[in-house]
Structure 1
Amino acid sequence: MKKSLRERQLDAEFYCNRWLADGNEALENGDKSKADFCFAKSQFWLDRSNLLLGHSDKAPPKQ
C-alpha cells in the first residue's frame, strides 16, 4: 500500500532527526567519520522533507 504524502513527510522528518541524533552521539564519542556519515544522511532526509513540504526549488509531489 502506498503511503500518503503526509506519512512520507513525517517519515522524512523522523529519519532526519534520528540520523542527526546518531551523528551527535558519534561526535560525542569521538568518532568523527561516523558522525560525518550520519550528518550526511540527516541532510539527505532534511532535503527530502523540505521537498515534500514544498520548501524546495523543485515542485513538491502531488500525492
Structure 2
Amino acid sequence: MWVIGWPQGEYLARAKTEETLVSARVDLARTEKTRRIWPYLRDRRIDAYEGLARRWLDD
C-alpha cells in the first residue's frame, strides 16, 4: 500500500492499487507547527539528504 501521511501517522491519501498516482493537499501551517514542536523535524538538515537521494535517483 502506498500512502502520503503526516508525521503523527495520519493518512492524507492512499493508493488503491500499485498503478496509481497519489496526491494530497498539504496544510503548510500545520506542517510548520509540527516542525516547531517536534525537535527531530525542526532540527533536520535537508542539505545533508542530497547524497542519500542521489543514490536512489541514479538507479
TM-score w.r.t. length of structure 2: 0.27
* Relative contact order, higher structure (CA 8 A, sep 6+): 1
In terms of fraction of residues, the more helix-rich structure is: 1
TM-score w.r.t. length of structure 1: 0.26
